[in-house]
Each structure stands twice: as C-alpha cells, then as structure tokens.
Amino acid sequence: MTRFQHFLAIDWSGAKGERQKGIALAIAGLDGKPPKLIRRNKPWSREEVLTFLFDLPDNTLVGMDLGISLPFADAGAFFPAWTQSPPDAKSLWALIDDICASDPNLEAGSFVSHTQASRYFRHSRDLIGDRFHLPNATTREGRFRHAERAQRQYGLRPVSNFNLVGAAQVGKSSLTGMRLLHRLDCKLPVWPIDPLPSNGSVLVEIYTSLAALAGSQLKGRSKFRTYADLNAALAALGSPNVRGEGAIDDHSSDALVSAAWLRNAANDQSRWSPAGLTPEIARTEGWTFGAL
C-alpha cells in the first residue's frame, strides 16, 4: 500500500452558511516533513473543497471526517417503510442531492425537513422522528452502522448519523458530505463503496478521534488545543513538529494529526481488510478507514 504519495485529511462541517470555520485541510507527503495546513484567505466553503478534490496531486489518499453512508444492515434499508428508500450508498447520495437541489452551499436542510425523510432523524431534544428508533430497539441512541460498532472497540462513542443534536453529532456533516460525494461523479473513488484501484487517488471516511488516539500519550485523549500537545501527538506518530506556539483550534489540529496518521495507516494492510467488511456492507454502509 505504499503507492500513495500524498495524504490529505479534511475536517468537515455540516453547519449552515457559505464559509465554514469548521473546515480544515492538512496534507502530508512521503518526504518526512510535518503535515501542513492548506489555507485560504477566507474560511473554506464546501464548494471550494469539492473543486479542490477535482485537482488533487497524483496518488493522494484523502480522509474526510464524516459518515459516507447511513445504517442499512440492521433493517435491510436506510429508511424502512419508505418506498423511496434507495438500495445502496450511491443511490442514497443521489437522493439527498436531488431533494436538496435548491439548498445553497451543499446544505441538507431540505432533506432533514422532508415529509418522509424527517421521520428517521432526531432533530432536537424534544423533536424525534417516529422512525428514529427501530421497533423493539434496545437503546435510545438510534441506529448504527457496522463500522461505528467497530469504532467502539477503541473506547470511542460514535453518535448515530441519524442524530442531528449535540456537539458530538455528525449527522449534518455526513449529509452535506454525501452531496459532495455525489457531485464527485465517480472521478474520485470512495472506498469501500468503490473497489480500491491499483493506482490513483482514493477518498476514505475517517474518524479524527481514532487518529488522535493513535497519537495520544494519554488514554482517551482525542483533542489537542495547544501546539505543544499537537506536536507531542505528531511525535508519537513519527512526524516532525509543526511551527507554532500557544493555542490552536480543534479543526486545524484534527486535520494535522489525521494527515500524519493517514501517512502511517495507509501502509497497514489490515486497515484495508477489516473483519466486519462484507461486499454488502461495502455497497450500502461503507466503512471507517482504520477501524478493524
């Protein structure tokens, strides 16, 4: 797996608005240098990230911090009892982008407010769709993909992609990300929904907390808010320090650590062959790269 030459990590955002302070991009190479942030004069927009992905350096492994799909295996459908429920992840992306065609900035408000789709999401503390839980559910957390269950073996507590509430939720970023994935129009393979090609660039789903734990000196540590802590994490990943001192925002540190982690993890064949990944799960739910 040493064929990749560049490792791009994207901390994504599902918030409303044209430009997002929560979006950060960092890239690392095989030259042994520290990862570096890719900056703009203004905060990134989601459309700018999409354009950037169309013109990547050759053989780039892209990791995006979002869910590339929704739970499917637990009910045999993304949206059980809805006749428009799509059969696979790519059809899901197309459905979301079609329903949200008039939403600006790759937002997904029209989908989560859709008469039928809204029934499957938790919208607020007091507004929970009547299909957010499956019949006879044993937990109030909502539905999970197989990949998210695999994340739990690391002590992580993923939140259901159907949950749109709270600081830890990734539902909104996942839905906006699926619009981006649809608009990539197969020009950038998305593993494992697409087979891993023998050459060229590939996009994978990552969980920045998984990368952070690999670089953490403290059990359970997943955020680095100072350059000192960030550089300690990078050192644990075998990376040189980045320049800077004092405070650093979470989004930048997440992207930098994740880029360094991708550089290491890409060479681990087990990361590409997790035990729970079947062809059916790959086609429908996808997977989180790095979760075994």
Q: What is the CATH number of the domain that holds 192?
A: 3.30.420
Whether 194 and 245 map to the same domain: the answer is: yes
The first and second tokens of residue 198, run together, are 């023998």
Q: Residue 75: inside a domain, yes or no? A: no
Q: Residue 262: inside a domain, yes or no? A: yes
pLDDT-derived band of residue 3, with 50, 70 and 90 as boundaries? Answer: confident
Whether 149 and 190 map to the same domain: the answer is: no
**What is the pTM assigned to this prediction?**
0.96
pLDDT-derived band of residue 154, with 50, 70 and 90 as boundaries? Answer: confident
Whether 203 and 176 map to the same domain: the answer is: no
Domain span at residue 159 reads: 89-183
Q: Residue 163: inside a domain, yes or no? A: yes
Q: Residue 99: inside a domain, yes or no? A: yes
Q: Residue 118: inside a domain, yes or no? A: yes
Number of domains in the chain: 2
**What are 116-150's pLDDT values in tens digits?**
999 999 999 999 999 999 998 888 899 999 999 99
